[in-house]
Structure 1
Amino acid sequence: MNSLRASNIPLVGSRIAALRALVSEIPPAIAAQAIGYTAQCAERHAQVSGTT
């Protein structure tokens, strides 16, 4: 994490981008369970990314 900050990589944006990429590859409910998010949160990211 510190090396990402030192490289000026936005951590929140990177995390959101990774989540949206994940829910575009596998069903949001499965992604949510695997990473500890709620199904509603994963579904919302899938909708925003245009997956569903």
Structure 2
Amino acid sequence: MAKFETSGIDELIDELESLSSVIPEYECPECGKEFDLPLDADSVTCPHCGTTFKIKH
């Protein structure tokens, strides 16, 4: 009988759930640095340069 290890599965599920709510490595249109962009936001502020911009849905 095969034995399955689940230690990595829980971490993978957590990672996939977090990716479903953000666009990973979005590039700021002002400074060009990358950050995670939340999908449910109407506007966002770049954590690097402080520029705030609206998100078109």
TM-score (norm 2): 0.33
TM-score (norm 1): 0.36
Bigger proportion of residues as helix: 1
Higher RCO (C-alpha under 8 Å, 6+ residues apart): 1
